[in-house]
Amino acid sequence: MNRRQKTIEKPSTLEGIGLHTGQRTRVTIKPACAGTGILFLRKDAPEATPVRAEVEQQLDIEKYPRRTSLSSGDYPIHTVEHLLSALYALEIDNVLVEVEGEECPGMDGSSLPFVEIIQQSGVKELPETREILKVKEPIYISENGSHVVALPAESLKVSYTLDYNHPFLRSQYASFTVAPEIYTRELAPARTFCLEEEVEKLRALGLGKGSDYNNTLVIGRQGVINNTFRFEDEPVRHKISDLVGDLALLGAPLAAHIIGIRSGHALNTRLIRKLRELQKRERAVGIGASSLISLNAHSLNVDEITGIIPHRYPFLLVDRIVELQPDKAVGIKNVSINEWFFQGHFPGRPVMPGVLIVEAMAQVGGVLMLSKTENRGKLAYFLSIDRVKFRRAVTPGDQLRLEVQVLKMRSKTGQVQGRAYVQDRLAAEALLMFTLMEP
């Protein structure tokens, strides 16, 4: 049960007002290669670094309520949930989202405008396969009368019960399988909402500065103020759409039945953290964890990489393995201006040291050899480096694609051809020979 990774065919841009900051903001969604994930970058801040849309990068819900926010270095990116929801539901795995401003534009208060520009950009299938996570046993989280549950399922389904003590907005229930066509038709058009009595409180908190009756459904005691529902149960559908956006912070597609009862961003985040914890536990022990398993062993994230080779920060130079075959491995290294080696290596004109490019290729080679059953637990040491050539400089902002091909493999030694590319242009190459030893 796996599928190929996807990106978009061409860049697309949306511009509008942020729902909470009230500032005019702009997002440009760009294609990215396999293994990149969903990256956000504050384009208006030269010092900002790309941030992956994963729960570890999420800003404190208590400090930034009623939205999902990420941190790009010291620069926040607020209200990412509508865009993330669209990307996740349309199965887009790899993009770079450049944001000019502190917040994603609110548009009409739904994820539909993001769905439409993604569709206009075109969806591109990549040859690399995508890791899918499957819940095996129930996970239950509860707090102050709100609940969220993850149950085993063969695909992603989300059910939600909305229950307000309100004369107009009464209990609503909806349940949908999250597939591109269903999401686009049934969930994407659903807009954000609030109760009329909440408006002043939100304003006092500095929220909703860009909200109006067009992009936010304001629900009074007699009905929707200056607007009408697109669906009879539009509020609960929006809750499901938001929950899908939060699930994107898991960093991988999920096969599960998620049930929310009055849950919001805070409780959703606790569920995602629990899923991540189980995922890491499984990878650490190398066997199926109690509640979650990986369905695709042909790609590895950083936790799985560190379960195979002994390298750790700051000397781990591979962010992700996007292809792992018996005789070939492909790794990704995102080169950031914050890398430790840029502090002293041509600091006025930062260039990644060539020896570290070779080391990055060697680490991919180490994963390739040590991932084999007969070599697990061993260590790989250099025997020789030959025919090293550096073709172009690697600078901050580049993404290295590290390809390693087995040339010879014996019980105690191996020789591989390593090549490093930046945007399909060869940056470096070398012949690497290793010896395998017991620790």
For residue 299 the two structure tokens come to: 């790609």
Calculate the dihedral angle through the C-alpha atoms of 186, 188, 194, 196, rounding to the nearest 10 degrees. Answer: -70
- Please state, in angstroms and rounded to a whole number, the distance separating the CA atoms of residues 168 and 179: 31
Residue 16: strand, helix, or coil = strand
Q: Which of 82, 265, 298, 311 is catalytic?
A: 265
Nearest CA-CA partner of 141 in 251, 270, 18 = 270
Q: What type of residue is 187?
A: L
Tell me, yes or no, if 257 is annotated catalytic. no
What distance, in Å, lies between the first and last C-alpha atoms of the chain? Answer: 36
Out of 147, 166, 298, 345, the active site residue is 345
Burial category of 313 from C-beta neighbours within 10 Å (exposed 0-12, middle 13-18, buried 19 and up): exposed
Single-letter code of the amino acid located at 368: L
The backbone torsions φ and ψ at residue 77, rounded to the nearest 5 degrees and listed phi first, read -130, 110
At residue 423, the 3 state secondary structure works out as coil
Q: How far is CA 298 from CA 129, 256, 295, 400, in A?
A: 7, 21, 9, 19
- The alpha carbon of 266 is separated from its chain's Cα centroid by a whole number of angstroms, namely 18
In degrees to the nearest 10, what's the CA dihedral of 39, 42, 46, 51?
Answer: -30
For residue 282, give every residue at least 6 positions away whose Cβ sits within 8 Å of its Cβ, in sequence order, or none.
288, 289, 292, 293, 294
Q: Look-up: residue for tokens 């969220």? A: 148
Closest alpha carbon to 133 in 147, 160, 158, 152:
152
Q: Angle at the Cα of 66 (from 22 to 187), degrees rounded to 5? A: 95
Q: Residue 360's closest CA among 299, 436, 286, 422? A: 422
**C-alpha distance from residue 108 to each of 55, 114, 192, 193 (Å):** 26, 10, 9, 11
Closest CA to 115 of 232, 4, 244, 218: 244
Pairing of strands 3-8, 12-17: unpaired
> Does the annotation mark 265 as catalytic?
yes
Point out the residues that are catalytic: 265, 345
